[in-house]
Structures are given as C-alpha cells and as structure tokens.
Amino acid sequence: MNELNAFWFLAWGLLWAVYLALDGFDFGACMAHNFIARTPDERRVVINTIGPVWDGNEVWLVTAGGVTFAAFPPVYAALFSGLYIAMFLLLLSLIFRGVAFEFRGKVEGERWPRFWDMAIAAGGFLPALLLGVFFGNLFRGFPLENGTIMSGFFDLLNPYALLTAVFFMVAFLHHGLLWLALRAGGPLADRAAAAAGRAWYLVAALLLAFVAASRYGTPLFENYAAKPLLYLLPLAAAAGLIRSKAAFSGSPRGAFTGSLVFILALVFTGLAGMFPDLVPALGQRGAGLTAYNSASGPYTLKVMTVVVGIFLPAVIAYQFWVYRTFSPRITTENLKDLGHYY
C-alpha cells in the first residue's frame, strides 16, 4: 500500500511537471508576442507556432486535476475550496486566452486584433503569475485546520510566493522565446534568440534568489538532508539551464531541450522536498494532507494504475505525432502554405 501511495504521489508530480514544461512555453510565447513581433503577420506567426499544440498541452492540467480528485480526494477538496478565487482566476485566464486565439482574426481592422493581442499577452502572464503563487504557497505550506486551508486570497500573496511567481513568469518567458527561436523563422526567430539570451541571466539570478529563499523560508531541504541522492534533481535543473544557454549559439533545439529539462527537474526538486506532503501545514512538517493520510482506497489506486498504464502511452504517442507533424518552421511567407489560420 505504501508503495502505491508513493507511486501516485510521483504520478501527481509528473503530471504537474509535464504540464508546466509544455504549457510554460505557450505562456512565454503569449507574453512575448506583442514585443517580439513587429508586424501583424509576425504576430500571426507567433500565435501559429503554438496554435496546433496549446490545447493538447492543457490536457496535462486536466489530467493532474483528475488524478488529484481520484487519488487524493481530501487534497482536491482543500485546494479547490481554500484556493477557490485563485483557481477561478486561473481557469478564467486560460479560457480567455483560448477565446482570444479564435476571435482575433474574425474582424478586419486594427482595433479588434489589437485588443485580442493584449488578451493573448494577459492569457500568458496571468496563468504564469497564478501558478507561481500556487506553487510558492505549496512549497511554503498553508495554515490548516482539520485539513482545511484557512488563508484568504490576499494571504497567498506573501513575499516567498510572489518571488516564486516572478521566477515562474521569467522562466516561462525565456522558455517561450526559445520555442520561438526553434519554431519561427527569419528575423523573428533571430530577435527571439537574442531576447532569450538576455533573459537567461535574469532566470539564473532569480533561481539563486528562489533557492536561497527556499532554503531559509521553507522545509523543502529537510528531505535532501536525509536523502542526499535527491540532490541529483537540482543538479539536473542546473545542467538544463546551463545547456539552454551553452547550446544556444549552435542549436536552438538543444537550447529548448535544456529549458525543458530545467523546468521538469525544478518542479521535481520542489515536490521531492515536499514528500509525502501534498498540502503541507505551515511550520509543521507532516501535519498536513499527505500521500498516506489523504489517499483513496487500495482498490481505487490499483484500478487507476491499470487505466494509466493503458491510456497514458496513447496520449504520449498522440502528442509526439502532433509535435512531429507541425515541426516545420513557420515564417510570414509560408504561413498559409502550412495550413495555419489563426
């Protein structure tokens, strides 16, 4: 039973990590498209680099929510009641971004697409901000009473959570710029590459600030003291970030892959420090909702394991096919030829 609980904690963390690594470059591209693209056609190129994949990337968010509901019902109840306003704003911003993609090209003129361009930028900025606040509080811990989060919305905006939010936003912006350098072509890709090179230094500085704040303001490092092998995770994150810079000059693909590794390993670094807590209690390690005291019954977890074993490979294969199919670079010249119409 304990092994099954640990497996589902790992699965829960993996789903969140994959979601942030994939939808993260969507957020970054959305945040960047108003300043990195200089003409309406270039803005269409930016949008179309993520057009075929952004909704598929959000499948991982839906799946993470579904796993939380099925495997850890008290955790789902605590998060969606205690963080109701934040969760509502997150979902609203994600919906608004999807609407902006579809509505942007429906009316000719300047003011209509300009409004939706701003909406797309907000649809990248707000989810990154809110997810950063969420994970900042998750790493720090919540004031709990009988498994209920007792903080209000503005209590979530503590200094550590705000630092995490800024770090997430800049990391996603850097991630999105590397995606544009990989998937766009011509001067747009060159500008994205140059901007990513400058943003890298800010990501590195914020990473150091985040690690220092986590060391002295959260209990995340307690697990690392007990299990030194866990330090391989932050080392992998550092290696990914270094590769995203070092490989850039010769390989946009290598740089983007490094950024993917950075985000995946970074999320796992935090979650490994939390284990077995899923909703940690502020200042009381192990007193919150954990993988052991909030899990569904053994039969439910076993059935879920079988279902995941059947369907997860199909989801991965489908997404691999989508990314491979839409892998050609997009430019203002070949946009229509490739069949992209956002």
pLDDT at 249: 61
> Does residue 198 form part of some domain?
yes
Residue 335 lies in a domain: no
Structural domain count, the chain: 1
Task: Please report whether residue 199 resides in a domain.
Answer: yes
Give the 3-state secondary structure of residue 277: strand
Angle between helices 252-274 and 2-36 (to 10 degrees): 140
Q: Is the distance from CB of 272 to CB of 235 less than 8 angstroms?
A: no
This prediction has a pTM of: 0.94
Q: What Rg, from alpha-carbon coordinates, does the chain have?
A: 20
Among 10, 18, 125, residue whose Cα is nearest residue 63: 18
Residues 6+ positions from 320 with CB-CB distance below 8 Å:
none
Residue 59 located in a structural domain: yes
Asked if the structure places residue 31 within a domain, the reply is yes
**Residues 6+ away with beta carbon under 8 Å from 84:** none
* Angle between helices 111-140 and 84-103 in degrees, nearest 10: 150
Please write the tens of the pLDDT for every residue from 203-245: 999 999 999 999 888 888 888 988 889 999 999 999 999 999 8
pLDDT score, position 248: 64
State which H helix or E strand residue 281 sits in: strand 277-281
The closest of 154, 151, 81, 142 to 289, measured between CA atoms, is 142
Task: Answer for the pair 95, 108: CB distance below 8 angstroms, yes or no.
Answer: no
Cβ(262)–Cβ(241) under 8 Å? Answer: yes
Are the CB atoms for 282 and 140 separated by under 8 Å?
A: yes
Whether omega for the bond prior to residue 276 falls within 30 degrees of 0, making it cis, is yes
Strands (E), 140-205: 144-145, 148-149
- Whether 112 is covered by a domain: the verdict is yes
Residue 281's Cα: distance from chain center in Å?
24
What residues contact residue 110 under an 8 Å CB cut-off, 6+ apart? none
Which two three-digit tokens encode residue 43?
Answer: 């803005």
Per-residue tokens: 93: 């911003």
Question: Is 336 among the domain residues?
Answer: no
- Residue 161's nearest CA partner among 223, 210, 97 is 210
Helix, strand, or coil here: 288?
strand
What is the Cα–Cα distance from 170 to 31, expressed in whole angstroms?
A: 10
Low-confidence stretches of the chain (pLDDT < 50) are none
Q: Given this model, what pLDDT does residue 55 score?
A: 87
Query: Containing domain of residue 125, as a range?
Result: 2-325
Judge contact between 123 and 176, C-beta under 8 A: no
Give buried/exposed letters for 218-241 (b at 16+ CB in 10 A, else e): bbbbebbeeeeebeebbebbbbbb
For Cα atoms 38, 41, 44, give the angle at the middle one, nearest 5 degrees.
100
What pLDDT was estimated at residue 51?
Answer: 86
pLDDT of res. 212: 94
Question: Is there a domain that residue 333 lies in?
Answer: no
Q: Could you tell me whether strands 277-281 and 144-145 are parallel, antiparallel, or unpaired per DSSP bridges? A: unpaired
3-state secondary structure of 252: helix
Give me the long-range contacts of 314-321 (CB less than 8 A, separation at least 24): 315/59, 315/63, 318/56, 319/53, 319/56, 319/59
pLDDT of residue 132: 95
